[in-house]
Amino acid sequence: MKKIIQISLFQLLFAFLFTGIGLAYRCGENFKVYYGDDVSTMCECAAVNNEAAFVSFTSGAPSTYCCGFYYGGECHIEEQSDEEETNTYGCGEGFIVLKDQDISGMCQCSIVNNQAELMNFDQGTQTYCCGNVQGTQCRTYEDPNDYACGETNSSATVPDGAICKCDGATWESRKDGFLNWSKGICCGWVVDNVCLSEDPAATNAYCGDIYPAGEKSCICGGSGGPVPMEDGNTCCGWLEEGVCKSTDVGISDLEVSGDLLDSLNPLSSGDNKDELSTPGGIISRALSNFIFPIAGIILFAVLLLGGFQMLSGATNSKSLEEGKQRITSAIIGFIILFAAYWIAQLLELIFGIRILS
């Protein structure tokens, strides 16, 4: 009886957390529907008579519905007007539409005669490629060795026979910003490890650049920005006496001297000046302020892990023994670290030598 009550409580908790019981969505909101949910009570939108529109379904995952009008890949509050322009896509771009939706005019790529190719079909939605399907990628050209602007390859080097058909661009490598691993190569222009299909210099201006007004976007940090000039052009940066500069002219140069550097050095200033002036003092401070607290945290983590291993392996003699050894090793290691510090202190006191101080 107790087991039956526990199962029932678990089922109620699961239903409350992972189903749509008591949930209501307003006009223009997408929502997920799990198996067994009553969709008829979830949409509160008078514009669609509180009826949600089915969007997509993936095997093993919840279905997606729209409480409103679904078109253009988004859930909207108002119904699509006849005058509203159809979304268009260029060569090598993939797009998702509803099942049986008219895709005429969406693909604008003369290379494939403006004809989109079906890539994937899911219940309720279809994925098209405005170009040529190469495996799981939507590419511009039919020949897999031909790469258009902005297209990438996962190889670290240019594959044999690969051609970058992008005017003014060459193959550029992309690197992982943190680990500096190769992220492949790009037929185009790489900015912040993103492969661009257009030359950023043609559309963006940077600190110190002068460009015709309205033709580029100014990218300059701080207070630098687009500043109108007397000749009608725009300065991206800081304007001083008619000259466009790449640095803030309001910041005066600071004279760097030895005294200034000493004042900024934490090892030669403040109350710890004498203590931190020697390697021994630095090690002593690190031991007292950092190493011992870190060792204590590691000790606690290892003890916790060892205890958990002993509990989980109570019926397994091998796991139980490994847990005991883990706890014993942690305690011995901490004792050795603690004893080493105090032995050094005793040697200083007895022999009058400097080890840590």
Q: Average pLDDT per run of 10 along the chain, which is 357 residues long?
A: 42 43 75 78 86 69 80 77 68 83 87 88 81 88 91 87 90 73 84 82 82 82 79 86 79 60 58 57 67 80 83 73 84 83 80 66
Alpha-carbon torsion (108, 114, 120, 124), positive or negative: positive
Express each pLDDT in 284-311 by its tens digit. Answer: 666 666 777 787 888 888 888 888 877 7
Using alpha carbons only, give the angle 155, 153, 135 rounded to the nearest 5 degrees: 115
Residue 102: partners with Cβ closer than 8 Å, 6 or more residues away? none
**C-beta atoms surrounding 69 within 10 Å:** 19
Contacts 24+ apart (CB under 8 A), 171-175: none
Domain ranges of the chain: 2-76, 93-138, 145-198, 203-245, 273-351
What pLDDT sits at residue 107? 92
Residues written for the chain = 357
Tokens of 242: 């008619």
Q: Are 235 and 227 contacting, i.e. CB atoms less than 8 angstroms apart?
A: yes
The closest alpha carbon to 166, from 184, 182, 190, belongs to 190
Tracing tokens 């989980």 back to the chain, one arrives at 312
Residue in this structure with the two tokens 């185009």, named with its chain if needed? 188
Assessment of whether the complete model's pTM goes beyond 0.75 = no
Classify residue 341 by burial, with Cβ atoms within 10 Å: 0-12, 13-18, 19+.
Answer: middle
- Sign, CA dihedral 289-294-295-297, equals positive
CA distances to 230, 286, 341 from 293, rounded to whole Å, are: 63, 10, 14
User: Which whole-number Å values give the CA distances from 184 to 155, 164, 187, in the listed order?
Assistant: 5, 14, 10
Strand pairing report for 204-206 and 225-228: unpaired
Distant-in-sequence contacts of 87-92, Cβ < 8 A, 24+ apart: 89/116, 89/130, 90/130, 91/130, 91/131, 91/140, 91/148, 92/129, 92/130, 92/131, 92/138, 92/139, 92/140, 92/148, 92/150, 92/151
Q: What is the pLDDT of residue 314?
A: 65
Ramachandran bin of 72, using left for φ above 0, alpha for ψ from -120 to 50, beta for the remaining angles:
left
Q: What's CA 201's distance to the chain center, in Å?
A: 25
β-pair type (63-67, 43-44) = unpaired
DSSP string for 162-185: -EE--TT-EEEEEE-TTT--EEEE
Q: Which two tokens stand for residue 200?
A: 């950023």
294-333 burial: b if 16+ Cβ within 10 Å, else e: ebeeebeebeeebeebbeeeeeeeeebeebeebbeebeee
Residue 238 Cα distances to 101, 220, 235, 249, angstroms: 51, 10, 7, 7
First and final CA of the chain: distance in angstroms?
A: 69
Q: Quote the CA–CA distance of 119 and 139 in Å, as a whole number.
A: 11
